[in-house]
Amino acid sequence: MKPALLPQLQVFLVVARQRSFSGAARELGVSTAAVSQSVRQLEKHLRVVLLARTTRSVSLTDAGRRLVEGAGPALAQATATLTEVSAQPGEAVGRLRLSLPRAAVPFIIDPVLPTFRARHPRVEVEVSLEDRLVDIVAGGFDAGVRLSETIERDMVQVRLTDPFRFVVVGTPEYLARHGTPQRPEDLLHHECITFRSPTTGTLYAWELERGRRTWRVPVRGGVVTNDGLMCSSMAKLGLGLAYAFEPRVMEELNSGQLVRVLEPYAPTVPGYFLYFPSRAQRSGPLRLFIEAARELALRGVK
């Protein structure tokens, strides 16, 4: 059917439901003559009679009944979908898909998402938690959140947090039993909770630095995990030392459950960044999320 005939089809469906030309005219806010003309135009195009008319009643012909049964639900669904996806002036509608590591949730999602959803209730937000590196383009994501050093250079980056440190931590009880490492090399003689990269499958060598010198220490221990957050949890149980995202363990450090060791060697990283392919591909929901994140994401991580 030609798109120009859709208005005539809509009029016909109202007449069929009302079983009245005058009733359809009142519902549509037009004249009865205009309703009658629209139905005649549709019948002329289809070369069939759709409505049997008398001075007292209107009824569907067999062709009219089949058109109502076939086109009515489809047109109703299309109309409902158009209403669903249409936006009022200043209103955002759509979907936002984000990929981010679990460690970033308390600093990006928790402070931003409640306010963002309250401001833009018709934007559906899908959050995929992946500690492995994800190709956001191939995965169909609007944007990702990662530490800046893992983001491809051709991506647009938007800072979401201030820089922070990674620190080596352990319980006071563990340190009392096994001693406190004084140099990066001492870690080779300690029970270290190791992290296996979900991306490469290799064990992560702890990165330390002091001045211009850097170390990559191939630590080992009896507990291995592919979840970075589990490392600090296992350290709290006294199972060994862990290499931890400092803001994530700040509460345990302040309470004395965990203690920093080798603090002069703690490396500083630039922080979390939101990234996406290009400014030209930035969707409306993503632009609004960036605005909210800049306003609300945790700053000044200590």
Same-domain check for residues 157 and 276: yes
Same-domain check for residues 190 and 265: yes
Please give the average per-residue pLDDT across 277-283, as a whole number. 70
Question: Does residue 237 lie within any of the structural domains?
Answer: yes
85/233 Cα distance (integer angstroms): 44
pLDDT at 300: 39
Domain count across the chain: 3
Question: Does residue 302 lie within any of the structural domains?
Answer: no
List Cβ neighbours of 119 (8 Å cut-off, separation of 6 or more).
Answer: 288, 292
Q: Does 104 have pLDDT greater than 80?
A: yes
Please give the average per-residue pLDDT across 201-207, as a whole number. 94
Same-domain check for residues 60 and 184: no
Question: Does residue 16 lie within any of the structural domains?
Answer: yes
Two tokens, residue 61: 């012909």
Q: What confidence tier does 54 reach under pLDDT thresholds 50, 70, 90?
A: confident
Lowest mean pLDDT among 71-75, 181-185, 216-220: 71-75
pLDDT at 240: 97
Q: Does 278 have pLDDT greater than 50?
A: yes
Same-domain check for residues 18 and 76: yes
Alpha helices in the chain (DSSP H): 6-18, 21-28, 32-46, 62-85, 109-119, 172-178, 228-236, 250-255, 284-296
Q: What confidence tier does 299 reach under pLDDT thresholds 50, 70, 90?
A: very low
Same-domain check for residues 222 and 139: no
pLDDT at 88: 55
Check which CATH number belongs to the domain holding 67 and give it.
Answer: 1.10.10.10
Same-domain check for residues 70 and 110: no
Question: Does residue 132 lie within any of the structural domains?
Answer: yes
Same-domain check for residues 172 and 262: yes
* Cα 124 to Cα 64, 109, 129, 139, 274, distances in angstroms: 40, 14, 16, 17, 18
Question: Does residue 301 lie within any of the structural domains?
Answer: no
Q: At what angle do helices 6-18 and 62-85 cross, to 10 degrees?
A: 110
Question: Does residue 203 lie within any of the structural domains?
Answer: yes
Check which CATH number belongs to the domain holding 148 and give it.
Answer: 3.40.190.10
Same-domain check for residues 220 and 155: no
Please give the average per-residue pLDDT across 154-183, as a whole number. 94
Pick from 64, 83, 102: which residue ends a domain? 83
Same-domain check for residues 198 and 213: yes
Q: What is the mean pLDDT of the chain?
A: 87
Same-domain check for residues 281 and 155: yes
- 92 or 166, which is more confident? 166
Pick from 41, 56, 83: which residue ends a domain? 83
pTM of the entire structure? 0.63
Question: Does residue 88 lie within any of the structural domains?
Answer: no
* Cα 159 to Cα 102, 204, 268, 299, distances in angstroms: 18, 25, 15, 10
Per residue in 30-42, pLDDT (tens digit) is: 999 999 999 999 8
Lowest mean pLDDT among 33-37, 77-81, 183-187, 273-277: 77-81
Same-domain check for residues 217 and 153: no
Supply the range of the domain harboring residue 39: 3-83
Question: Does residue 89 lie within any of the structural domains?
Answer: no
pLDDT at 189: 96
Q: Does 214 have pLDDT greater than 60?
A: yes
Q: What confidence tier does 151 reach under pLDDT thresholds 50, 70, 90?
A: confident
Same-domain check for residues 198 and 157: no
Per residue in 216-266, pLDDT (tens digit) is: 999 999 999 988 889 999 999 999 999 998 999 999 999 999 999 999 999
Q: Does 302 have pLDDT greater than 50?
A: no
CA–CA–CA angle 17, 22, 26 (5° rounding) = 85
Pick from 63, 83, 103: which residue ends a domain? 83
